[in-house]
Structure 1
């Protein structure tokens, strides 16, 4: 768990999808364990203190409606404060654990700024344009390298959209005149597992008009060396470079 809170630098970078999957698994596993214990303890008490028609023992400390069981440190009080204490430890531990991971998701891994890929994502009715640093523009297919942090600046040229890729656990509003930032990364292991090229569906998650349902795209992740070769062969465009500079300058200001 401690390692999960220190997700920094190089090989220790983790994709957002992995972080969210870990949080879900931890909460599911712990919730299931606590649920089993609580239900089992409840059923045991139901059986132990069932009314079998016999007279209660003289030392039986029966609960009283409306009375908090804190009397003079008796067994009921010990059980009450023990349950409160254990619950507090579990809840506080989960909050600290999840907060550390969510900070990582929000800020992203530390980087030296030299190897990051920065891309402007611009939505419109009904497609996505992707602008690279050299001014190259792709429509509906975002091509990026594996094992790199990909920073995106998301905006719109007409109405509200929402750029999202469920498998990568990324989702950002695309609002005219505003720029939302996000990041993602895909490991080379994931790319190899998909046969040397990983593909992820992009959808618009904001009802944006009659063509909303067809506003789909794709994120294609390829090995870094292949991406560098592809990027060197792309055709720069002055207008595209101005678009990239405009949005990343706004994000940095």
Structure 2
């Protein structure tokens, strides 16, 4: 199995979106390669064993229905078991590879809680409310810093919802009286590429009533210094005191 530790070297651990994109690319590339080989081999056999009218019935070694073509080590047996063996190797390798990456996505990177930010997400008909460690609440827009793991505790105040952002590859149930967890991270490079702040659409992926299609929000990712300035002006106390009181490690640059 792939050890999730190899995915998080120091501060270079990877976001969920990057992991899912890699899995998609690997499966697409390998599927295309295997498909090309299988189709090419099939067409070659169609041409090689075509009926050109010159072969007698005595020379034709036809398969027998219900009988495994072992052939006492003959060519048919070798081809059969070779194809089975190669298929097993490919499938098992893909399962081990994908399971290791998905385990990393499920558990998240081990950052030792340093720089992690805990935010409570509450769904309601028909919108989203976000509560920060200092008690400040935002509606509709979740504002977070780049280069930090953002932990989301998701619940609902009325009916079942589902909090998700397709571009960030996150999706988690919002159930009344219960909390589900997910996380995401956006790099500062991505923020710079999007002109100084990165925005991501938030949607509800659970049919929750007549206003379901309008239940949208936004995640805005700011550079760390800009987010610290914004966060320091929220809530009733200072950002550092609020984070310290919540038991969440303060992001670097915010003294605790």
Structure-1-length-normalised TM-score:
0.89
The answer to whether residue 128 in structure 2 is matched with residue 128 in structure 1 is yes
Other-structure match for 2:230: 230
Other-structure match for 1:197: 197
Measured in 1, the distance between the counterparts of 2:134 and 2:192 equals 28
Shift in Å at residue 67 of structure 1?
2.0
Other-structure match for 1:28: 28
Shift in Å at residue 127 of structure 1?
1.0
Measured in 2, the distance between the counterparts of 1:4 and 1:91 equals 20
Shift in Å at residue 41 of structure 1?
0.5
Shift in Å at residue 9 of structure 1?
4.2
Measured in 2, the distance between the counterparts of 1:60 and 1:204 equals 62
Measured in 2, the distance between the counterparts of 1:49 and 1:4 equals 49
Shift in Å at residue 229 of structure 1?
1.1
Q: Secondary structure at the match of 1:122?
A: strand
From the superposition, tell whether residues 146 and 213 of structure 1 become closer, same or farther in structure 2 (CA, over 3 Å): same
Q: Secondary structure at the match of 2:171?
A: strand
Other-structure match for 1:78: 78
Other-structure match for 2:144: 144
Shift in Å at residue 65 of structure 1?
2.9
Shift in Å at residue 228 of structure 1?
1.0
Shift in Å at residue 71 of structure 1?
1.8
Where does the alignment leave 5 or more consecutive residues of structure 1 unmatched? 246-253
Other-structure match for 1:163: 163
Measured in 2, the distance between the counterparts of 1:59 and 1:125 equals 74
Other-structure match for 1:90: 90
Post-superposition CA distance 1:139-164 (Å, at most 9, x none): 01000000100000000001111101
Q: Secondary structure at the match of 1:167?
A: coil
Shift in Å at residue 208 of structure 1?
1.0
Measured in 2, the distance between the counterparts of 1:112 and 1:224 equals 19
Other-structure match for 1:249: none
Measured in 2, the distance between the counterparts of 1:3 and 1:145 equals 28
Higher helix share: 1
Shift in Å at residue 63 of structure 1?
2.4
Q: Secondary structure at the match of 2:148?
A: coil
Shift in Å at residue 196 of structure 1?
0.6
Other-structure match for 1:250: none
Measured in 2, the distance between the counterparts of 1:151 and 1:38 equals 44
Post-superposition CA distance 1:54-104 (Å, at most 9, x none): 124976543233321102100000011111111111011101100000000
Over aligned residues, Cα RMSD in angstroms?
2.1
From the superposition, tell whether residues 225 and 2 of structure 1 become closer, same or farther in structure 2 (CA, over 3 Å): same
Measured in 1, the distance between the counterparts of 2:69 and 2:7 equals 45
Measured in 1, the distance between the counterparts of 2:69 and 2:209 equals 60
